[in-house]
Amino acid sequence: MQLIKGDIVYSSQDARLIERKDSYLGFENGKITGIYDSLPEGEHEVLDRTGCLVIPGLSDLHLHAPQYQYAGIYMDEELLEWLEKHTFPEESKYKDIGYAEKAYGMFVDDLAKSETTRFAVFGTIHRKSTLLLMKKLSASGLKGFVGKVNMDRNSPEYLIEKTDDSIDETKAWLDEAASIDGVGPIITPRFIPSCSNELLERLGVLATERGLPVQSHLDENPSEVEWVKSLCPWSRSYSDAYDRFSLFGTTPTIMAHSVWPDDDEIALMGKRKVFVAHSPSSNANLSSGIAPVRRFLDNGIPVGLATDVAGGSTLSMFRMMTSAIEQSKLRWRYVDSSLRPLTFAEAFHLATRMGGSFFGKVGAFEPGFEADILVIDPSMLHTTLYGDLSPAERLEAYCYRKPGEGLMDKFVAGRRIF
Ligand code: GUN
Ligand code: FE
């Protein structure tokens, strides 16, 4: 067994912070064995990180690898204009495998250095570049899902597929992706405006027949929601449009954003256990709005946090936690005072345990959970004069003040990343 000694913090099933100061976290064969007050008997490999925080890795439920090169610029536009002017031209470059090699190399290096251990990532429409991205992520030791994007309408002619080609390429991609370790394929219709009914239908069949997960975008920005209404006059809602094609929780599904769902959509998401990838940074940057996270939780909808790079400007999931809390307070103040804001303990729960549950037993330190572990040296906080902060208080201060600094060790399913 391997043991890490430090101040251990993780989230209980009911979103309480569990703290174990100066304790030993044990793991073996990639799984957590338990937390021990003192060194268990026997021969063990012990990593002494006394004074450091030991927490589960964070799951980023939605981000776009091919948008990483321009993250942090072009934040003065709304979604549809931003897609046309910046996103589509950049994504078209991934037709060139040489460009993908360089750009995805940088993306994967930075993701590996970050607090993210699990991911659900969008590639582009290009099969070869998407496979390259999957292989690079697999080699990094991180785990998760990557999607070859499908789009066959309302897209520029340099970034569009014919419907048959989109399906054929997706099938060829699935065949080649099957041999990649630790990184699985996820069916990825970009969003309703860029996918014809026929393409959605065929992707739904593919996902259902092969039992593959699905990811897409939902109810992000008012102009996009209006557009979907006019494109799908036969549907009750944006969610219903996906649902008609078995792309809404028939298999495990992540929908990014969901800022503007109506009551029926919330009921359907709860019934189908569709994960919301709550993307607070992106929702602010693209002026999309503030998602009703408390309503999701009250209706039994699983919620994870997401950077949505490059709608979000950073890979930092710690920053997504504090952003989600801050936005929930603004929503409570300005929109609906009956919906309590998120607490720090809840935001940590979404970033670790609830988001992690999309990937299996991930995001907590109970026996049998996968050993996704981060060790943080929080000594840069300089809080010693203030008094003896509890591990959870130090974690909170760290997330607000020094997110992403002082990362000492990172393990995914027991494998050391750094
Ligand atoms: N909707 C469709 N495509 C995208 C994208 O690339 N980013 C975001 N934020 N929303 C989208
Ligand atoms: Fe997105």
Give residue-wise pLDDT tens across range 323-374.
999 999 999 999 999 999 999 999 999 999 999 999 999 999 999 999 999 9
Residue 211's nearest CA partner among 180, 242, 184 is 184
- 217 touches ligand 1 (CB under 6 Å): yes
Ligand 1 atom nearest residue 217's Cα? 1
Ligand 1 atom nearest residue 282's Cα? 9
| Overall average pLDDT of the 93-112 stretch | 98
187 forms beta bridges with 214
Question: pLDDT by residue (tens digit) across 53-65?
Answer: 999 999 999 999 9
Read off the tokens for 46. Answer: 């012990």
pLDDT range class, residue 383, cuts 50, 70, 90:
confident
Nearest-CA residue for ligand 1 atom 8 is 311
Ligand 1 atom nearest residue 122's Cα? 6
| Overall average pLDDT of the 230-251 stretch | 98
Q: Which ligand is nearest to the CA of 254?
A: 2
The whole-number pLDDT of residue 387 equals: 85
- 283 touches ligand 1 (CB under 6 Å): no
The whole-number pLDDT of residue 385 equals: 85
High-pLDDT (> 70) share of the chain, %: 100
| Overall average pLDDT of the 140-160 stretch | 98
pLDDT range class, residue 70, cuts 50, 70, 90:
very high
Q: What angle do CA 355, 359, 363 make, to 5 degrees?
A: 55
Per residue in 264-284, is it b (16+ CB within 10 Å) or e — as a string?
Answer: ebbebbbebebbbbbbbbbbb
CA of 308 to the centre of ligand 2 (A): 5
Token pair 């503030």 in the structure block, residue: 290
- 64 touches ligand 1 (CB under 6 Å): yes
The whole-number pLDDT of residue 384 equals: 79
Question: pLDDT by residue (tens digit) across 198-221?
Answer: 999 999 999 999 999 999 999 999
pLDDT range class, residue 292, cuts 50, 70, 90:
very high
- 282 touches ligand 1 (CB under 6 Å): yes
pLDDT range class, residue 194, cuts 50, 70, 90:
very high
- 204 touches ligand 1 (CB under 6 Å): no
Ligand 1 atom nearest residue 194's Cα? 2
DSSP code for 309: B
Residue 150 in this model has a pLDDT that exceeds 90: yes
Residue 266's nearest CA partner among 232, 234, 237, 304 is 237
High-pLDDT (> 90) share of the chain, %: 98
